[in-house]
Amino acid sequence: HLDYINLMAYDLHGPWESVTGHNSPLFAGLNDKTEVQRQLNVHASVSYWLRQGAPAEKLNLGVAFYGRSFTLRNVGDNGIGAPAGGPGHAGPYTYETGFLGYNEICEKLQFEKWNHCWDNEQQVPYAYRANQWVGYDDSESVTLKANFIKRYGLAGSMVWSIETDDFHGKCGEKFALLSTFNKGLEHDEVTTTTTNEPTTISTSTHHPESTSTTEEGTTSIWTSTSTTTEEPGPIKCFETGYFRDPEDCSKFYFCEGATMHSFQCPAGLYFDLSILSCNYPERVEC
């Protein structure tokens, strides 16, 4: 007779592996080839518990306020799935190799000029500089996870842990992740930050199949608008990847096996298959 089940949906990848991987991806990525690999994400974890009979109203999704870091074998190979030679360097506050609190990560981004990237398949950020690499959650990804919690009707969330948030506000707002997450859970509809220009996409040099990313602090400009179903929309999933709605260019889908995730571009934008992101209509063949 449990009151709540706290699902620790993090540490799904880390420096114990031989390639870089995100600590807590929302969805599977294109590098996830095996059935086991396709289960190492938030969506698959929550879906499994629900299929096994766990009541959604008793399930709390765990969200990490830290990242798992790696030391790259090749500084020019820095995407998700890049060869790694061990844990990343310890941070100035947590003193643990292979682990960086969000407060340490945001300072590296802001003051040490680390490169920020966004993985469109897994819907999470990562960052790198020289031979150091970290996969973590930021304000955008915790907003998406707040949306996920509400769409699946879960009880709520738990975080690990608030002392690794930016509690001094050195990078901006104090407790930036916790504040953003709370706002996301309070409101009925939450959207991610948009830029004045549509996001541009660049693909990791040595892993073209692995991830589409946005760099230098740009953000994904579309959000999921419906829960996952087996057969939503006018098309069905037969392979993993992105597909545009044949009847509405502002809608698109991400297929994960036979499961489809439905998305909607912001008003006035179309989904551009050439860059796997939303773009101005005049730049899109539709």
Contacts 24+ apart (CB under 8 A), 195-201: 195/219, 195/221, 198/269, 198/272, 198/277, 198/278, 198/279, 198/280, 198/283, 199/118, 199/275, 199/277, 199/278, 200/275, 200/277, 201/120, 201/275, 201/276, 201/277
User: Whose CA is closest to 258, among 282, 233, 229?
Assistant: 229
Q: How much is the pLDDT for 234? A: 53
Question: What pLDDT was estimated at residue 266?
Answer: 73
Domain 5-186 has CATH 1.10.3980.10: no
CA–CA distance, 127 with 110 (Å, rounded to integer): 12
Per-10-residue mean pLDDT of the chain, 286 residues long, equals: 93 97 94 89 92 92 98 97 97 97 98 96 96 98 93 92 95 95 74 36 33 39 41 62 87 79 81 77 86
Strands 156-160 and 132-135: unpaired
Q: Residue 201's closest CA among 221, 185, 175? A: 221
pLDDT for 224: 46
* pLDDT recorded at residue 226: 37
Q: What is the CATH number of domain 222-283?
A: 2.170.140.10
Could you state, in order of their start, the residue ranges of all structural domains in the chain?
Answer: 5-186, 222-283
Quick one: pLDDT at residue 35? 85
pLDDT at res. 241: 76
